Amino acid sequence: MNREVLSRDTPSRPAAATPRPARRNRRGPRRRASRAEARNARAAAAFTLPFFALFGLCFLAPIGYALHQSLFTTERTGPLGLGGQEREVFAGLANYAHALADDRFLTGFGRVLLFGAVQIPLMIVLATALALLLESASARAVPFFRSAFFLPYGVPGVIASILWGFLYVPGISPLVKIAGAVGWDLDFLSRGTVLWSIANIVTWQFTGYNMLVLIAQLKAVPGELYEAARIDGANAWQVARHIKLPLIRPALVLTGVFSIIGTLQLFAEPMVLRPLASSIDSGFTPNLHAYSEAFVGNNQHAAAAEAVLLALVACVLSFGFLRLVGGRAKELG
């Protein structure tokens, strides 16, 4: 009886609670990962900052300054525009209108467009042929000929023009003397031939560079494709036409764009040959015309407008070429 009373009156002890599993600190690894990513981002920004600084200083700043200069003109406060002080006044698009109304500037544009229409395809075809030949030649001969064809690219444009100038001048040129000995009156610097004499210099100088670009693309082609084509009975011409040429198409497009831009910037060759050829005037190319406006006519604002127009034409032609090539690739694909 007493035991029953005691058992009723005495409170029972609570059951021991089951221990909960300890929560893992999931924030720790995430915080450590985010800190590591932040450090990597800061390091990457520190490494790329010098590039963007130089890019802005050497590329964007000159473009902005040229745009600013092209919108202004210089006025003199003296009577009849003589003497007095010079000041810059806003001219709007007057410098661009002046450039587009200049017949010599427009004629220079037409001349370089004709130059590029003939010289660029010829140079790219020649570079492609050399790249295909050197890629299929024996290993012993490739390094020598590759260096020999690339060597003219290492010669500056001014030096190359001087070297070829000695071969063009009638009084000292051995080529002119040989042509005269066989009764052929040859004049490399006449009004009708001087443009193609300059094209010869440019082709001689830049074919090797384009050849190396194409060879580098050919090196990236897997050798298994060539082996499979040979097993199927394809000869060397079929391999080059159906395998090599389609696979080096990106390199061909790249060399085409670079050649278009370089053609519009044609300056060193006509500038060096100008004292030797009376047919080369100050408006022979757009770049030469802008140079004459800036340093001969002392009109930097008009020269800046011509430089901006030249850059716009280069962009339009380059993007147009890329769109044309891309559209054809989609049609063929």
Residue 35, C-beta contacts closer than 8 angstroms, at least 6 positions apart: none
- Residue 138 or 199, more confident: 199
- Report the CATH number that the domain containing residue 106 is assigned in CATH: 1.10.3720.10
First-last CA distance in the chain: 102
Which has the minimum average pLDDT: 123-127, 185-189, 265-269? 185-189
Q: Which two tokens stand for residue 152?
A: 């003219």
Element (H, E) at 11: none
Close Cβ partners of 280 (under 8 Å, ≥ 6 residues apart): 194, 270, 273, 274
Handedness of CA 313, 318, 319, 323 (dihedral sign): positive
| Mean pLDDT to the nearest integer, 45-64 | 91
Instruction: Give which of 322, 328, 320, 301 is closest to 70, Cα–Cα.
Output: 301
In a domain, residue 218? The reply is: yes
Name the residue range of residue 288's domain: 102-332
* Residue from 120, 310, 317, 135 nearest 206 by CA: 120
**196, part of any domain:** yes
Q: Return the SS3 of 308.
A: helix
> What are the percentages of helix, strand and coil residues in the chain, rounded to 5?
75, 5, 25
Would you say residue 9 lies in a domain?
no
Look at residue 43 and tell me if it is in a domain. Answer: no
Two tokens at 8? 């009723």
Cα 257 to Cα 242: distance, rounded to the nearest angstrom? 23
Q: Which amino acid is at 245?
A: L
Give the residue from 75, 98, 72, 102 showing the smallest Cα distance to 86.
75
Work out the percent of the chain whose per-residue pLDDT is above 70. Answer: 85
How far apart CA 112 and CA 264 sit, in angstroms, is 6
d(CA 73, CA 80): 16
Identify whether 59 is part of a domain: no
Q: What is the pLDDT of residues 67-113, one digit of tens each?
A: 999 999 988 776 655 666 778 889 889 999 999 999 999 999 999 99
- Is 71 among the domain residues? no
Structural domain contains residue 10: no
pLDDT value, residue 28: 56
Residues 210-262 pLDDT 10s: 999 999 999 888 888 888 888 888 888 888 888 899 999 999 999 999 999 99
141 pLDDT tier (thresholds 50, 70, 90): confident
* Counted domains in the chain: 1
Supply 249's token pair.
């198409």
- Cβ neighbors of 200 (< 8 A, separation 6 or more) are 164
Answer for the pair 210, 132: CB distance below 8 angstroms, yes or no.
no
**CB atoms closer than 10 angstroms to residue 269:** 26
Residue 153: DSSP 8-state: G
User: How do residues 7-29 score in pLDDT, each as one tens digit?
Assistant: 444 444 545 555 555 555 555 56
List the structure tokens of 32. Answer: 């450590």
State the pLDDT at residue 138.
65
**Average pLDDT of the chain?**
86
Mean pLDDT, rounded, for 272-276: 93
Cβ–Cβ under 8 Å, residues 259 and 124? yes
Return the residue matching tokens 């800190």. 35
Within 10 angstroms of residue 126's Cβ, the number of other Cβ atoms is 16
Contact in structure between 293 and 306 (CB atoms under 8 Å): yes
Per the CB < 8 A criterion, the answer to whether 329 and 148 are in contact is no
Element (H, E) at 12: none
